[in-house]
A and B are shown apart, each in its own frame.
Chain A
Amino acid sequence: MRFVLRGREPRWLAPAAVAVGVLVTVALTAIPIRLAGANPPAAFERYLVTPLTSTSGLYEVLLTATPLLFTGIAVALAFRAGYWNIGAEGQFLLGAIGTTAVGTGLPDLPAPVALPLGFAAGALGGLAWAVVPAWLKRRVGIDEVVTTLLLNPVALLVVQGLLNGPWRNSESGFTDSDRLGTAYDLPALVPGSRVHWGFGVAVVVVVVVGIVLTRTATGVRIRAAGQAPRAAEFSGIAVGRLQFRCALVSGGIAGLGGASQVMGVQHQLTSGISNSYGYTGVIVATLGGLGALGVFLVAFLLGDLSVGAQNVSLVLQVPAQLGAMFSALLLLAVLSAMSWRRYRVQWRPPRASAASESQPERGPTR
């Protein structure tokens, strides 16, 4: 049996690869579920199906998906341009800081002013955190993967520093900030549910980025710069400048996610505000094929999983971390399946007793 490069790729192959990835993930996660003493099929049903069977469950899923939509599309945009922004986590946190700053500093503004201002402050915070790595990349050529990634824990330290110092809660003395002015509370999207207008903003951002990427000249330039920078440069596209701008916009969008989480859910800054949304955004973007529709679907799926995981851990008494394990395995399995699709398996009958002086095979393909 050998693996041979495919000539042409049939149309059904990509969906089939995703399906194989999902099946492998299910098979692998069944083992720890079993070890935890639960019945895998029942667990999978609770992970994936149960959250969608009730309206309240569905709202929870949308609420959980909201920050992932922001960070997912932020990462997807940067990746498309060939700028490997792994710093959505830090940019998300700085967005939360920006929103908290105006929300606690100017608490008495009327809502029509306060809400846009809160989002703008969040976007600005995220953008500011993205400037330094983007500038270093453009001017000195320092690898943005390293700089954006390493700035994430720094952002968390900034949050913790603020909460332990100047922003410590003035009433309780806990390490949470004061509550934002009530004008900054994002109204519920559906009255009575926890889904807030941040979800609406997220959908608009995803759709706009999707249109820009697929339907505009800028989108073609971004893809050209990301896929073949030399050819893009040859065609007169200023690749460095384009990547710089995409990096800033990406940071701004991640910052919007922070703003949405502060104004829609927590209404104050806490050190746990992010829950790794920035890192999960990388999964969302990558699994979503760096496209708007894909980001939407994967964010929804991971929201579903995460709501389901809480349910599973309550009902079936298995660790809540299994949900995170599921999504991590899903990423690895699907990406592996996608890279394997370039090969096909060639079955060969065992060679008829090769001459005795023949040497052993040295590898699968030469």
Chain B
Amino acid sequence: MSGAHSSNGRTGGPLLELDGLTKRFGELVANDDVSLSVAPGEVVAMLGENGAGKSTLMKMVYGLVRPDAGTVTMDGRRLEIASPRDAMAAGIGMVTQEFSLVETMTVAENVALSGLGLGRVDRSAVRRRVTDAMDRIGVSLDPDRLVSMLSIGERQRVEIVKALFHDCRVVILDEPTAVLTPQDVRALFETVRRLTAAGLGVLLVSHKLREVAEISDRVVVLRRGRLVGTRVTGEVDDAELAALMMGSADAPTAVSEPDTGAALGLEVEPLSERTAGGARAAVLEIEGLTLTRGSRDVLRDLTIRVGGGEIVGVAGISGNGQTELVSVLSGTEPASAGRLVVAGTDVTRAGVAGRLRAGLGRLTEDRRGSVVPQLSVEQNLVLEDLPAYTRRGLLDRRAVRRHAEELIERFDIRARPGDPVATLSGGNMQKVLLARALSRGPRILVVSQPTRGLDIGAYRYVHEQLRALRAGGGGVLLVSEDLDELRSLSDRIVVLLRGEVVGEVSAVEASAERLGVMMAGGVPA
């Protein structure tokens, strides 16, 4: 269907044109001379690994970041965009990864908020305009519902309506599917098709090839801040796009690999190398775990068991108790009720040190909250084992250095032992944390969003390490919002909804559809 309107759209010439946009942060070149265009009725997908400069480029177009060089034109007229307000006035709307909605206001109020001037507010007129805007793009939402009652997918739709409220003609969607269930993704794409049918241009940022193939007319690929290719979607295959994204050197072989496939959002088949789960003794038993905050149970009567040599995935839409589960397991927040057993040791009342001794390893989504940025790599690596590196009251600096050099070698960390962790890239920081957790030989590793924001090389590396731990008889509890990641790694997947386990499926049965239905609270067929 995309072909139909793209042909009528392109007759009028491009709508939005970026020409030679360049942005440097210190010595880092985030964008280098990037030029591209979006025609009316066209969906242009921008592909690129994490860190390729996609977000910076979009922020320049939307006035959140000022370019060092280059121009943005709309209908052939050059724009001076100094703030999002200027961008909106020029007809550019953007839906960012983080939503900016006031939870205590209704849908209509939120939409109207961005367009309010001074003076009296005509509520009924506002409400009518909002309903009109929603009708136009086929979004059905009750305008009087409070945003706090909406799901993530619904909130995103509110953001889209908000962007469209200003007669906008180009919509930028920055990684719109990252937080959505497969069902919500389909609804989003339906909305996108409505937009293009109405003659709007859509610029969609993504790192998932499958989505791009489904929705876009044209694909542009960014790598290390440069535009490395533009292709018509129908005339290009996944392997070529992957090669463009990753650089041609290691791509052709890598793209057939399951880890790379999962990272790029290609169809992944559950792997057959997995062991039959449950044969070995449990390394983590969570029994009746409950966490009450205020008067609300954020975790309720959770029971999960992980055996040795098994990876158990935890799926769920963001905000359904995953973060809390990980912090309770990590020992940074005490459980309100229930029992935790790590490799036979009851650690329900134990502090962090006791849990580590029992054989728990942790790799949480909050990387910056797990390292001390100003301390060096070597000091961060021994932070959990300081007594072991103390001799006669003083820190044995040579042993600390040796330990660090060993781990840097073994985990291929691109840093020197004395470098402050703050200077490391996201991928290297994650390797430091992985090294710290794995060097203690954990019986069970609790992992949360282990690859979020990592480039493909680091993504594959982390997955290899998790598989190696499983092969060595260790257990892994993998919390992730990335279904591709869960499906390519896990033996079993449990689904969390509002702090409760609402279902469990074996990897073989865990299709994206099925998981999506369970995550949204439905009963899979």
B279 at the interface (CB under 8 A from A): no
Task: State the majority secondary structure of interface residues on B.
Answer: loop
* A220 near B25: Cβ-Cβ < 8 Å: no
Q: Known contacts A220-B386, A235-B352: does B83 contact A362 (CB below 8 Å)?
A: yes
B-contact 0/1 string along A1-35, CB 8 Å cutoff: 00011111000000000000000000000000000
Task: Please name all residues of chain A whose beta carbon is closer than 8 Å to the beta carbon of B64 when the two chains form the complex.
Answer: 366
A46 at the interface (CB under 8 A from B): no
* A224 near B369: Cβ-Cβ < 8 Å: no
Q: Known contacts A220-B383, A234-B370: does B352 contact A7 (CB below 8 Å)?
A: no
With beta carbons under 8 angstroms apart, the residue of A6, A230, A231, A355 that contacts B26 is A6
A139 at the interface (CB under 8 A from B): no
Total chain B interface residues with beta-carbon distance under 8 A: 45
B-contact 0/1 string along A337-361, CB 8 Å cutoff: 0000000100000000011011101
* A224 near B375: Cβ-Cβ < 8 Å: yes
Task: Give, as a whole number of angstroms, the nearest-CB distance from A81 to chain B.
Answer: 13
With beta carbons under 8 angstroms apart, the residue of A7, A8, A224 that contacts B383 is A224
Given the complex of chains A and B, what is the CA–CA distance between A234 and B373 in angstroms? 14
Task: Please name all residues of chain B whose beta carbon is closer than 8 Å to the beta carbon of A113 when the two chains form the complex.
Answer: none
A53 at the interface (CB under 8 A from B): no
Please, which residue of chain B has its CB at the minimum distance from the CB of A348?
B68
* B27 near A7: Cβ-Cβ < 8 Å: yes
Task: Give, as a whole number of angstroms, the nearest-CB distance from A121 to chain B.
Answer: 28
* A235 near B384: Cβ-Cβ < 8 Å: yes
B80 at the interface (CB under 8 A from A): yes
Q: Known contacts A8-B26, A234-B352: does B86 contact A359 (CB below 8 Å)?
A: yes
Task: Give, as a whole number of angstroms, the nearest-CB distance from A229 to chain B.
Answer: 9
Task: Please name all residues of chain B whose beta carbon is closer than 8 Å to the beta carbon of A357 when the two chains form the complex.
Answer: 80
A166 at the interface (CB under 8 A from B): no
A227 at the interface (CB under 8 A from B): yes
B65 at the interface (CB under 8 A from A): yes
Interface size class of A (residues with CB under 8 A): 35 or more
Q: Which of B224-232, B388-396, B472-480 is near enough to bind chain A?
A: B388-396
* A227 near B26: Cβ-Cβ < 8 Å: no
Q: Known contacts A8-B27, A236-B352: does B371 contact A215 (CB below 8 Å)?
A: no
Q: Known contacts A215-B395, A220-B379: does B370 contact A231 (CB below 8 Å)?
A: yes
Task: Give, as a whole number of angstroms, the nearest-CB distance from B321 to chain A.
Answer: 19
A276 at the interface (CB under 8 A from B): no
* B387 near A234: Cβ-Cβ < 8 Å: no
Task: Give, as a whole number of angstroms, the nearest-CB distance from A151 to chain B.
Answer: 30
Given the complex of chains A and B, what is the CA–CA distance between A228 and B368 in angstroms? 9
* A228 near B372: Cβ-Cβ < 8 Å: yes
B152 at the interface (CB under 8 A from A): no
Task: Please name all residues of chain A whose beta carbon is closer than 8 Å to the beta carbon of B24 when the two chains form the complex.
Answer: 4
Among A171-219, those with CB < 8 Å from B are 211, 215-217, 219
Please, which residue of chain A has its CB at the minimum distance from the CB of B352?
A236
Task: Please name all residues of chain A whose beta carbon is closer than 8 Å to the beta carbon of B353 when the two chains form the complex.
Answer: 236
A156 at the interface (CB under 8 A from B): no
CB-defined A-B contacts under 8 Å, sample of 30: A4-B24, A6-B26, A7-B25, A8-B27, A8-B423, A215-B395, A216-B390, A216-B394, A216-B395, A217-B389, A217-B390, A219-B395, A220-B375, A223-B372, A224-B375, A227-B375, A228-B371, A228-B374, A232-B372, A233-B332, A234-B332, A234-B362, A234-B364, A235-B352, A235-B383, A235-B384, A236-B352, A236-B384, A361-B82, A365-B66
- 9 A-B pairs with least C-beta separation: A7-B26, A236-B352, A7-B27, A217-B386, A236-B353, A366-B66, A228-B372, A230-B369, A235-B383
**B residues with CB within 8 A of A:** 24-28, 63-66, 78, 80, 82-83, 86, 330-332, 351-353, 356, 362, 364, 366, 368-375, 379, 382-384, 386-387, 389-390, 393-395, 397, 423
